Structure 1
Amino acid sequence: MRRICLTLPTNRPCPQAITALGAEAAYAAEHFDVAVHLLILDSCDPAGYARNAAAVRALPALPRTVVHHLDERRQRAFLQRLIGAAGTAKPELMLELMLPGRLSYGACTNRAFLAAAALGCESVHRRDSDSRYQTVDGRPVLPVHHELRSLGRRAADAAAGVTETALPAEHLDRRVAMVGASFVGELSVDIGDIHRRDAGVYHDVVSLWAPPHWSEEDKRALVAESFKGAGNEPFTEDHALLTLVDPMRVDMCNISFHGVHERVPLPPATDTIGSDYFLIHLVHDAGLPGVLHNRHIVNYYTGERRTDAGFTAYQTRFAKFLLSMLHLNHVYDGMSRHGAALLDRDGEVDAGAVAGLVRDSTRLDDAENVWRLDRLDTSYRKLGGRYAVFAAHLAEHRDRLLDEARRDMEDFALLTEEWGRLVRAARVTPLDAPSGPAPGGPA
C-alpha cells in the first residue's frame, strides 16, 4: 500500500480548512489503496495554533489515516535532526533556508516535502488555508480523486483513467510527475483594486513579470490571463487531460507531485509571492507527463490584507515577485532550451543541471530590475493614496530589495545542490510523534 502526504502549510487560524482537508483524506483512504498522512505545518501564534489544534482533535478517527499537526518548534527540531544527519555544507544557513524568520511560500512547502520523505510518502498533495472546495449537491469536489488516479503511474497506463490524452508518444514511458488544477473566485494575487482604479496602470504593473524584450502583443496576452485561474465557471462534470501541463493552467493551492519534489526544491525566497511555482515550470520544460483536471478550488481573500500593514506587506511580496523574474525568466528560458536534457539516464530530473541554470542567473546585471522598480514607482504614484505611500516605501528600500532578489537565487542554487542529501537524510529521520487520529483510532 502506497503512502501519500496531503499537506496544509498555514500561518493563520483555519479550522474550516482543516475540517475540509480531513474529509479529503477520508475520501482518499476510502476510495484508493493508500495510507494517508495528513500533515499540517502550522506557523501560527499560540492562540491560532490552539484553534487549529481543536479542529485537529475534532477530526474523526479514520482507517489508514494519520494526522500530524506540527508547530514551528517541532518543525525546527525535525529539521535540525535531518540537517545534522545529512552533513550538508553550512548547516545553520540550511536551517534558515528551510525555516526562515520571514514568510516564505517556497520554504513552507519544502518542509512538507522533507516531512513526506520522513513519513515514507511517495507523493505530496498540497492545499492552502485561504481556499475551499467547490460543492455539488452538498458534496465537496475533491482534487485528490484525479491525483490518485494518475500520479506516479506510467503515462501510457494513466491514459486509461483520463478523459483525453494530448501527450507526444515519446513521453508515454515516463511517469506522471504532477497532477493539478487551478482555482475559481478572486484573483490569486490581490491586485484587483489596481485594475478597478486604472486599467492602464494595471497593465503596466502586471506586464513587468514578462521579459522586457517581449512584444507588446505578448505582454497584453500575459496580462489578460495572469492571476485569473479558471475564472468563475463552476464545476459541472469531470474532465482530465494527460499532457505536458501549461504552467499557467495550474495553481499551488491545487497541486500534487510525484518524484520531482525529491530531486529539486522550491526557491526559499522570503516575502515573495510566486516563489513556490518553480516545479510546475520544471515538470513542463523537462517533458514530464502531467494531468490537468477541472476540480478547481475556490480562492478567497483574508481580512488581514485589507489593513494598512497587510497592504504594505502584500504589495512588498508582489514587488519582490516581479524582481525575482529577472532571474527566473532566465532559468525558465534555459530549462525550455534544455528540455529532456534536464533528465538523467533514468528519466529523473538532474538537480545539477537545474542548479547550474540558477547559479548562472545570479550573474545577471541588475539594470532590468532597476527599470522594474522605476516603472513600479511611476505606476503606484499615479494611483495615489496608499499606493503613493507604498511607492515611497519601495524607494526607501530599493537597494535592499535588489540585493535580496539576487541573494534569494544564490540561496536557491545552494539548496538545490544540497537537496539530495537532505531528502536522503529525511527518509531515515523520524518525524515527531503525530497528534490526532491514527490508523484505526486516535494517536
Structure 2
Amino acid sequence: MRRVLLALPTDRACPDAVAALGAEAAYAARNFDVEVHVGVLDTSEAPQNAAAVRALPPARGVVVHHLGTAAQRAFLRQAVDGLPEAGRLLGLLLPEGVSYGACTNRAFLFAAALGCTSVHRRDSDSRYQYYGGSPVFPVHHELTSLGRRAADVAGDVTRSRLDPAARDRRVALVGGSFVGEMSVDLAELRSADPDVYQDVVGLWIPDDCPPAWRRRLVESSFRGAGGARFDGDHTTLTAVSPMRVDMCNISLSHEVYGRVPLPPARDTIGTDYFLTHLVHDSGLPGVLHNRHIVNHYTGERRTDAGFLAYQLRFVRFLLSTGYLNAVYARTLAAGDALLDGDGFVRAGAVAAYVHESVGLDRSRNAGKLDVIEGSYRKLGGRWTAVADAVAARRGGLLERAAGDMADFGFLIDGWRSLVRAVTPPGD
C-alpha cells in the first residue's frame, strides 16, 4: 500500500483548516488503497491547532502528525548532521520569518522520511467548496492520477491535450486553482487605480512578452479561477500551466520534489511555484481539475502592520522574478532535455541555471523599485508607508534578491543528500 502525505504547513491558528484536512484524509483512505499521513507542520505554537489535531476522529488508514517548531527543528538537525555547511542548510529549511518555499520543503522532507510517494499540499487560509451538500476534495483527482503512466490516465479524464511523446511518462503533478478573494492582496490597488495596477503587476512579466499578452497576463494574475463554482468534475491531461494551479491545491510526485526543492526565500510570495514551472517546461504530464479551493483572507492581513508586511512580500516577489524568469527561460528552452534517461529531472542542470542567474545585472530590478515607489506614492494613504519602506530598504532589497537565488542554488546542490538522510521523527 502506498503512503501519501496530506500536508498543511501553517504559522497561524487554523483549527477549522485542520478539521477539514482530517476529513479529506479520511475520504482519501476510504476511497483509495492508500495510507494517508496527515502532516500539520505548525510554527505558530497556537494551542487551538493542537486541540484541533487531538479532536480529529480516528479513521482507518489515516495517521496524524502534528509537528511544532521544536519537533521540526529536531527532525531537520538530524537530517543536516554531517552535511557540508549544516548550519546554513538548517537556516534555509527553518528560517526566521515567513518562507513559503521553506515550509513546503519541510513537508517534502517529512514525506521522504515517511516513505511517501507524493505530497498533497493545502493552506490554512482556504477551505473546500461544497456540492450536493458534501465537500469537494481535490485529493480525489490527485490519487486517481498521480504517479500513473499518462497513457493509462487518459481514459479517466474528461479530455487530453498531452503531447503524444509524453504518454509513457508518469503524471508528476495534479492540481486545481482557487475561487474567492485574490491570492495576493491587491484588490484594493486594482480598485484605487487600474493604471497603477497594470504598471505594478506587470513588473513580474518578462520584458520580451508582447503587449497584448502582457495585458492578459496582468488581468489573470492572482485571480485563480475567478468566480467559477464547482458544477461537476472536469479534468484535463496536459502539460499544466503554472498559471492554472495554486499551491493551496496541488499534489506533486516524489520523483519531482525528491530531486529539486523550492526556493527558500524569506518574506517573498510566489517563489514556491518553481516546481510547477519545472514540471511544465520539462514536458512531464499533469492533470488539471476544477475542484477549486476557496481562498479567504485572515484578519491580520487587514491591519496596517499586516498590510505593510504583505505588500513588502509582494515587492520582493517582483524582484525575485527578475532572476526566476531568467531561469524559466532556460528550462523552457531545454524542454525534455531537462530529463535524464529514466525521465527524472536533472537537478544539476537546474542548479546550474540558478547559479548563473545570481550574476544578472541588477539595473532592471532597480528600475522596478523606481516604478513601485512612484506608483505607491501616487496612491497616497497607507500605500505611502510601503513606498517609504521600499525607499529605506532599497539596497538591501536588491542585495537580498540576488542572495536568495544563491541560497536556492546551494540548497539544490545539497538536496539529494538531505532527502537520503531524513528519518522519521523519533527514530
Fold match (TM-score > 0.5): yes
1:78 is matched with 75
What amino acid is the match of 1:78? F
1:436 is matched with none
Q: Deviations over 1:168-198 (max 9, x none)?
A: 1110010000000000000010010001110
Separation (CA, whole Å) in 1 of partners of 2:8 and 2:279 = 22
1:150 is matched with 145
How far 1:360 moved relative to its partner?
A: 0.8
Q: 1:173 aligns with which of 168, 172, 176?
A: 168
* Identity level (%): 60
Q: Say whether residues 1:306 and 2:270 are aligned partners.
A: no
**SS of residue matched to 2:66:** strand
Separation (CA, whole Å) in 2 of partners of 1:149 and 1:169 = 20
Separation (CA, whole Å) in 1 of partners of 2:29 and 2:155 = 22
Separation (CA, whole Å) in 2 of partners of 1:284 and 1:91 = 32
1:320 is matched with 316
* Runs of 4+ residues over 6 Å off in structure 1: none
How far 1:401 moved relative to its partner?
A: 0.5
Q: Say whether residues 1:92 and 2:87 are aligned partners.
A: yes
Separation (CA, whole Å) in 1 of partners of 2:161 and 2:316 = 35
What amino acid is the match of 1:184? V
Q: Say whether residues 1:248 and 2:243 are aligned partners.
A: yes
Gaps (5+ residues) in structure 1?
434-443
**SS of residue matched to 1:365:** coil
Q: Deviations over 1:92-134 (max 9, x none)?
A: 0000000001110000000000000001100000000000000
For the 8 Å contact 2:239–2:285, the answer to whether it is kept is yes
Separation (CA, whole Å) in 1 of partners of 2:98 and 2:167 = 39
What amino acid is the match of 2:137? L
How far 1:389 moved relative to its partner?
A: 1.9
Counterparts of residues 129-208 of structure 1 (less than 5 Å):
129-208=124-203
**SS of residue matched to 1:237:** coil
Q: Deviations over 1:217-259 (max 9, x none)?
A: 2221110110100011110100111010011000000000012
1:262 is matched with 258
Separation (CA, whole Å) in 1 of partners of 2:84 and 2:145 = 37
How far 1:306 moved relative to its partner?
A: 1.2
How far 1:432 moved relative to its partner?
A: 3.6
1:440 is matched with none
What amino acid is the match of 2:246? D
Q: Say whether residues 1:398 and 2:387 are aligned partners.
A: no
**SS of residue matched to 1:277:** helix
- How many residue pairs match? The answer is 426
Q: 1:59 aligns with which of 47, 56, 59?
A: 56
How far 1:64 moved relative to its partner?
A: 1.2
Q: Deviations over 1:346-392 (max 9, x none)?
A: 11000000000001110101000000000001110010011112101
How far 1:199 moved relative to its partner?
A: 0.5
What amino acid is the match of 2:287? V
Separation (CA, whole Å) in 2 of partners of 1:147 and 1:214 = 33
For the 8 Å contact 2:142–2:174, the answer to whether it is kept is yes
**SS of residue matched to 2:271:** coil
Q: Say whether residues 1:287 and 2:292 are aligned partners.
A: no
Q: Say whether residues 1:431 and 2:420 are aligned partners.
A: no
Separation (CA, whole Å) in 2 of partners of 1:163 and 1:296 = 16
Question: What TM-score results when the alignment is normalised by the length of structure 2?
Answer: 0.99
2:412 is matched with 416
**SS of residue matched to 2:402:** helix
Separation (CA, whole Å) in 1 of partners of 2:262 and 2:372 = 26
Q: 1:335 aligns with which of 331, 338, 344?
A: 331
Separation (CA, whole Å) in 1 of partners of 2:376 and 2:175 = 34
What amino acid is the match of 1:74? A
Q: Deviations over 1:304-328 (max 9, x none)?
A: 0111111110001000000001100
CA RMSD of aligned residues (A): 0.9
Separation (CA, whole Å) in 2 of partners of 1:379 and 1:209 = 15
What amino acid is the match of 2:108? F
For the 8 Å contact 1:74–1:432, the answer to whether it is kept is no
For the 8 Å contact 2:308–2:385, the answer to whether it is kept is no
**SS of residue matched to 2:291:** coil
1:362 is matched with 358
